[in-house]
Amino acid sequence: MGVFVIGDGRMGTIIRELVEADSSLKLVGIVGADTKENLRDAAAADVAIDFSHKDMLPLVEAYVARTGAALVSGVTGYSDEELSRVKALGRGAAVIHSANYSLGVAVLRRLATQAAEALAEFDIEITETHHNQKADAPSGTAKLLLDAVNPEGAYEPVYGREGMCGKRDPREIGVHALRGGTVAGTHTVHFFGPDEEVELTHRATSRRIFATGAVAAAKKLVAREPGFYTFDELMFA
C-alpha cells in the first residue's frame, strides 16, 4: 500500500518512520512547507496522510482530485468552510478527518457524552494543554469534546474569561487553552456540581499514539468506497 505523507514536522516525521518500518507499506513521497509545490505533480499513492497545516488544503484537494488517493487528515485549526471542503473530497475518494487519532480520546469522547447526559445540571468546562509550538487554539480535540457534551448546540462556548465577565451563565461551556513545554496533549472535561466535581482526563505521553492511530485508519480506509468516514466508524464499527 503506497502512502504519501503530507507534512514533515513532528507528526509527519513519526508517520514517515512508521511507514518505513512496516513491510506492508511503501513511502511514495513526503512534502513539507518548503517542498509543498512538489505535490502538484507527485506520484499517486493509495492513501495520503496529512498532518501539515490548514494552508496546505488547496494542494491537498488538488492531489486527491488528481490521483483519487484516499485521505487521512489530522490537521486542526480549519474553519468550518475548510472542514466542509475536506468532507467534500469524500465525493471522489475515501476520506477521514479526525482531530485526534488516539483510541483513548475516542473513548473519552463517548464517556463525556454519557456524563453530560447524566449530569445535566452540572457546569461543564473543558481545558486543554499542549506544547509551546502548537499553532492553533483551542485544540481540535477540545472542539471535538465540546461537540460531544453539546451535541445540539444548546450551550454557548466561552473561550477564556477576563475582566468583569459577570456570573457564569448556566448555558455556557468554558473552553481554555494552556501552552507550555513539550506537553503532547492533555484534555480534561470538568463537570462541576453542587459540592462535587467529576473530571474526565486523557493524557498523551507521546504523539506516537496519534501517528499509530492515523496509520491504522489509513489501512482500513483504503478498503472503503469513496465517502467521508469518522474515526469511530473506521476503528470501532
Residues taking part in catalysis: 130, 134
Which region among 31-39, 106-114, 156-164, 193-201 touches ligand NDP (by CB under 6 A)? 31-39
CA distance to 70, 117, 120, per residue, from 225 (Å) = 9, 34, 39
Report whether 12 belongs to an annotated binding site.
Answer: no
Inter-residue contact 34 to 8 (CB < 8 Å): no
What are 125's three cell numbers?
A: 468546562
Which region among 26-34, 56-64, 85-93, 135-143 touches ligand LZUJQKHR (by CB under 6 A)? 135-143
Q: Does 129 bind ligand NDP (CB under 6 A)?
A: no
Burial 38-63 (b: 16+ CB within 10 A, else e): ebeebeebbbbbbbbbbebbebbeeb
Report whether 102 belongs to an annotated binding site.
Answer: no
Minimum separation from the CB atom of position 24 to ligand NDP (A): 22
- 217 — phi, psi (to 5°)? -65, -40
Q: Does 101 bind ligand NDP (CB under 6 A)?
A: yes
Q: Does 100 bind ligand LZUJQKHR (CB under 6 A)?
A: yes
Report whether 131 belongs to an annotated binding site.
Answer: yes
Out of 3, 19, 42, 76, the only residue in the binding site for ligand NDP (CB under 6 A) is 76
Q: Does 56 bind ligand NDP (CB under 6 A)?
A: yes
Report whether 150 belongs to an annotated binding site.
Answer: no
Q: Does 141 bind ligand LZUJQKHR (CB under 6 A)?
A: yes
- Which secondary structure element, helix H or strand E, spans residue 193, and what is its range? strand 186-193
Q: Does 76 bind ligand LZUJQKHR (CB under 6 A)?
A: yes
Q: Which is nearer to ligand NDP, 36 or 202 (CB)?
A: 36
Collapsing DSSP to helix, strand or coil, 43 comes out as coil
The count of C-alpha atoms lying within 13 angstroms of the C-alpha of 93, restricted to the half-sphere facing its C-beta, is: 28
Binding to ligand LZUJQKHR (CB under 6 A) within 147-206 occurs at: 185
Inter-residue contact 197 to 191 (CB < 8 Å): yes
Alpha helices in 68-207 (DSSP H): 80-88, 103-118, 140-149
| Radius of gyration (C-alpha) of the chain in whole angstroms | 19
Triad 143, 132, 188: Cα angle to 5°: 35
Q: Which is nearer to ligand LZUJQKHR, 36 or 130 (CB)?
A: 130
Q: Which of 221, 227, 187 is nearest to 204 (CA)?
A: 187
- What is the contact surface with ligand LZUJQKHR in residues (CB under 6 A)? 76, 99-100, 130, 134, 139-141, 185
- What is the contact surface with ligand NDP in residues (CB under 6 A)? 7-12, 32-34, 36, 51-53, 55-56, 74-77, 98-101, 136, 207, 210
Binding-site entries: 74-76, 98-101, 131, 140-141
